[in-house]
Amino acid sequence: MHDKIIGASLPSVMALSYVGDAVHSLYIRKMLVKGGLCKSGELNAAALDYVTAEAQASVMRRIEPHLSEDEHATYKRALNSTHLNKPKHASAADYRAATGFEAVVGMLEWIGDTDRLSYLMELAYGDVSKSNDNN
């Protein structure tokens, strides 16, 4: 078990997902700005490629094999939560996976494990951020 999680008072997975959504959105915004986009309309349009349930579910499938036991447990709790709203533009499976992804991101932010969060984001988006650096 991860040392920072032992004895930690974690919020519910839905609260972690809420925090994770904000953290992920900020990460994507910074990545896009570093990539050279500067107009708000362009930034908002480009961000949609990364912040939809489908995009987050895809990222989750990419990083899931690399999750720690605690991260995977958080992901599964969020994935199986009965409190999820019915998705409007995504499949239920993608919406659940995206919620799980956000919960993992939120948990890492909550416990202050920025190194681990950076590692997972690099796994998720390293190819995109590296191509942005080459522009």
CA distance 31 to 27: 6
The answer to whether position 31 is within a domain reads no
* Residues 68 and 2: beta-carbon distance below 8 Å: yes
What letter would DSSP give residue 98?
H
Beta strands in the chain (DSSP E): none
Residues assigned a catalytic role:
21
The answer to whether position 95 is within a domain reads yes
For the stretch 42-88, pLDDT in tens is 999 999 999 999 999 999 999 999 999 999 999 999 988 876 676 67
Give me the domain span that covers residue 75. Answer: 13-25+53-125
Number of domains in the chain: 1
Q: Any idea what the CATH number is for the domain that residue 76 is in?
A: 1.10.1520.10
pTM: 0.86
